[in-house]
Amino acid sequence: MIPSVLLVDDDVELVGLLADYLRQDGFRTSMAHDGESAVAAALSQQHDIVVLDVMMPRLTGIEVLRRLRAQSRIPVLMLTARGDDIDRVLGLELGADDYVPKPCSPRELAARLRAILRRLHPVAEEAGGPPALRVGAGVLWPARRSAEWAGQPLSLTGAEFNLLAELMRQAGRLVTKAELSERALGRPLARFDRSIDVHISAIRQKLASCQPGADPIRTVRGMGYQLTRD
One-letter amino acid for residue 40 of the chain: A
The string of pLDDT tens digits covering residues 106-160 is 999 999 999 898 887 754 444 456 789 999 999 999 888 899 999 999 999 889 9
Q: Which residue(s) pair with 217 in the sheet?
A: 227
The string of pLDDT tens digits covering residues 28-54 is 999 999 999 999 999 999 999 999 999
Mean pLDDT of 189-194: 85
Taking 90 as the threshold, does the pLDDT of residue 201 lie above it?
yes
In the CATH scheme, what is the code of domain 133-227?
Answer: 1.10.10.10
Among 1-5, 117-121, 215-219, the range scoring the smallest mean pLDDT is 117-121
Backbone angles phi, psi at 93, to 5 degrees: -65, -30
| Per-residue pLDDT, 214 | 85
Q: What residues contact 38, with CB distance under 8 A and at least 6 apart?
A: 6, 8, 32, 50, 52, 59, 64
Distance of alpha carbon 88 from alpha carbon 99, whole angstroms? 7
Distance of alpha carbon 138 from alpha carbon 148, whole angstroms? 6
Burial 149-160 (b: 16+ CB within 10 A, else e): beeeebebbbbb
What does the domain layout of the chain look like in residue ranges?
4-120, 133-227
38 burial class (0-12, 13-18, 19+ CB within 10 angstroms)?
buried
Question: Pick from 74, 92, 218, 63: which is nearest to 160 by CA?
Answer: 92
| Per-residue pLDDT, 38 | 95
Domain 4-120 indexed as CATH 3.40.50.2300: yes
Q: What is the pTM of this model?
A: 0.75
182 secondary structure, DSSP code: I
Taking 70 as the threshold, does the pLDDT of residue 70 lie above it?
yes
Question: Pick from 88, 84, 86: which is nearest to 76 by CA?
Answer: 88
Identical topology for domains 4-120 and 133-227: no
